[in-house]
Amino acid sequence: MTQRELVLSRLDELGISCELTEHPAVFTIEEIQKLGIGQKGEICKNLFLRDAKGKRHFLVTLPGGRQADLAALQQQLGCSRLSFASAGRLEQYLGLHQGEVTPLGVLNDRGAAVEVVLARSLEQYPLLGVHPNDNTATVWMTFAEIRRVVEANGNRITLVDL
């Protein structure tokens, strides 16, 4: 099974119905906007971060148009200095590659080691667009459904103001 098929199968198991939009591979919010993909809802920006010692890893999801203030985020999470995790760590913890980061990546995190950080502001959008662990498609889901997927996998969730 492909990454996408595994995600869609797990969503089905959880009783989550979603709409899938297929598109060329995209690596940035700007590329998504150029293709007009974001017309159904808010496209999420996703960052994979680590603390200074590399002991804690965070998958941060925020609205696509927002910039992440890493210092403010660090303070809200009560951790040491944050930086972007390497491609190797992304593959090790979430089984993903650059451009594929998504909260649904936790489905590859069998040990639930990655902490998921969700911007509170995401709750205001009727639909959120995230990759199904494959950057050639976007899955449209509600905030509550994304949260349910993460909780079902056992990953810690922290809501933050970004």
Amino acid at site 43: I
Please state, for a pLDDT cut of 90, what percent of the chain lies above it. Answer: 85
Contact status, residue 128 vs residue 41, Cβ threshold 8 Å: yes
Tens-digit pLDDT profile for residues 43-97 = 999 999 999 999 999 999 999 989 999 999 999 999 999 999 999 999 999 999 9
**pLDDT band at residue 29, thresholds of 50, 70 and 90?**
confident
For the cut 90, the answer to whether the pLDDT of residue 115 exceeds it is yes
pLDDT band at 137 (very low <50, low <70, confident <90, very high): very high
Tokens 């491609």 sit on residue: 87
Q: How confident is the model at residue 17 (pLDDT cuts 50, 70, 90)?
A: confident
pLDDT score recorded for residue 55? 93
Please report which confidence band the pLDDT of residue 38 belongs to, taking 50, 70 and 90 as the band edges: confident
- 116 closest CA partner among 74, 155, 69: 155
List of residues 6+ apart from 91 with CB closer than 8 A: 97
- pLDDT in the model for residue 20: 94
Pairing of strands 19-22, 115-119: unpaired
Q: What is the pLDDT of residue 159?
A: 97
Domains (ranges, CATH) in the chain? Answer: 3-160 (3.90.960.10)
pLDDT (average), residues 23-50 = 90
| Token pair listed for 54 | 């590399």
Q: Which of 23, 3, 92 is nearest to 54 (CA)?
A: 92
**Contacts for 136 with CB less than 8 Å, ≥ 6 apart:** 4, 22, 23, 24, 25, 26
Measured CA to CA, the distance from residue 130 to residue 138 in angstroms comes to 5
Residue 33's pLDDT band (cuts 50, 70, 90): confident
Beta strands (DSSP E) in 88-132 are 115-119, 128-130
> Is the Cβ–Cβ distance between 155 and 35 less than 8 Å?
no
Q: What is the mean pLDDT of residues 114-123?
A: 97
Tell me the percentage of the chain whose pLDDT exceeds 70.
100
d(CA 56, CA 60): 13
Q: Cα separations (Å) of 68 from 60, 63, 72?
A: 9, 10, 8
Mean pLDDT calculated for residue range 129-133: 96
